[in-house]
């Protein structure tokens, strides 16, 4: 069994801009676990534990999905408190593209491959505790989100190995978008 998800790794420039937002969050009254810079991604579908015999089939289906979508521009445009502002477990960035290709990709992956798909987002951190929630929410709303538009040119089947120091992600396959 291999723990997997399907996602999009961020290009270097966008990743560095997202790291800047994470650094801003570090100055707020929050105890959290930040996503490591090399692990920043847009998740399209979490597959969980997959039988190793099914990996090749998933790679083929993903290649077919990728070949049907032309590369496109996306942007991370606002902070998202998940599940709600009153009970914050995850802080993420909403990801948007004008043609809604990410939504279509996520839907096609869910229908053809499966998994648990959420609206496209980039997880910044998982929250353990917020010492002053009202101050935190006020400060979060003032944060400047400065991530330039970036090109999405491939989707990946990603292996997630859970280790004591944190997860390690590696691409099992990449489906290039024409």
d(CA 128, CA 93): 18
Active site residue 121: yes
Q: Give the active site residue among 41, 61, 80, 159.
A: 41
Contact by Cβ (8 Å): 124, 45: no
Q: What is the 8-class DSSP label of residue 69?
A: S
Instruction: Give the SS3 label for residue 4.
Output: strand
C-alpha count within 13 angstroms, C-beta hemisphere, residue 98:
6
C-beta of residue 47 within 8 angstroms of C-beta of residue 115: yes
Which residue is listed with tokens 């032309």? 70
- Give the C-alpha separation, 18 to 10, whole Å: 9
Is 77 a residue of the active site?
A: no
Of 121, 140, 159, 175, which is the active-site residue? 121
Give the Cβ contact number of residue 75 at 10 Å.
Answer: 17
Catalytic residues: 41, 121
């Amino acid at each position: 069994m291999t723990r997997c998800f399907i996602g999009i790794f961020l290009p270097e420039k966008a990743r560095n801009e997202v790291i800047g937002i994470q650094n801003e969050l570090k100055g707020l009254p929050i105890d959290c676990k930040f996503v490591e810079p090399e692990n920043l991604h847009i998740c399209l579908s979490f597959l969980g534990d997959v039988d190793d015999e099914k990996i090749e089939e998933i790679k083929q289906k993903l290649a077919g999905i990728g070949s049907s979508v032309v590369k496109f521009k996306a942007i991370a445009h606002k902070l998202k408190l998940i599940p709600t502002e009153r009970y914050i477990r995850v802080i993420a960035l909403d990801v948007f593209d004008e043609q809604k290709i990410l939504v279509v990709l996520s839907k096609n992956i869910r229908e053809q491959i499966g998994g648990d798909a959420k609206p496209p987002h980039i997880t910044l951190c998982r929250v353990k505790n917020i010492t002053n929630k009202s101050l935190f929410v006020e400060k979060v709303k003032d944060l400047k989100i400065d991530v330039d538009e970036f090109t999405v040119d491939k989707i990946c089947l990603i292996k997630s190995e859970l280790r004591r120091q944190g997860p390690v992600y590696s691409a099992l396959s990449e489906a290039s978008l024409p």
